[in-house]
Amino acid sequence: MGEQWGFYFDADSCMGCNACAIACKNRHDTDAGHVDWRRVETVSEGEFPDYEETNISLSCMHCEDAPCEEVCPTGAIEKRESDGIVTIDQDKCIGCGYCGWACPYGAPQYGDDGLMQKCNLCLDKGPGSGADAPSKNEQQANGEALEPACVDECVGDALDAGPVGELLDKASQEAAERFEQNRTNVIIDSTGENSVTGMQGIRQATEDS
């Protein structure tokens, strides 16, 4: 199995500006409005005066055991062994929506053609792209890897992407431990006093959206 790729997200550095979501839409030319490969949700905790809000930038989590892949009846969704990225082959997709029901994070999106599309960690550009793209590891070795648009345009440097081992090197011990317990390919960090973090924040954001 090749080195697994994923995202790193620092909740304390996210200012909720939505630059990541807009950059993603622009790069992949996704349908305006209802198709969001990446989105920013605001979650809250407590009551005044002990009230706190946290911005959570969400996309596909590229799960270790991807539930969308398990329920796809045509084999259109693949968790790639070469780089750990979950891709969709739109030539096989029938638009049944099972993946959308199975995903707890709201990652699968459906364009005007009814076919599933989602974040592919910028393996390539455009809806349905990435399924036949070379491994992200191979792209990086050849100097051809696209920096994910969300990472490239993040104003607060809250997002990063790369091999999971390298991302863990920059994460706090608490974030690394959360990652080992949940095994998505996204490391959620909080270096300050932010309490609505990790999978707690992700779950709340997806429930509220």
The predicted-structure confidence for 145-161, as pLDDT tens digits, reads as follows 899 999 999 999 999 99
The predicted-structure confidence for 79-101, as pLDDT tens digits, reads as follows 999 999 999 999 999 999 999 99
Cα 174-87-197 angle, rounded to 5 deg: 20
pTM score of the predicted model: 0.88
Query: Is the separation of the CB atoms in 35 and 111 below 8 Å?
Result: yes
Backbone angles phi, psi at 124, to 5 degrees: -160, 180
For residue 148, give the DSSP letter: P
- What residues in the chain have per-residue pLDDT under 50? 194-195, 199
The pLDDT assigned to 200 comes to 55
Q: Write the CATH number of the domain with boundaries 5-181.
A: 3.30.70.20
Element (H, E) at 58: strand 50-58
Delimit the domains of the chain by residue range.
5-181
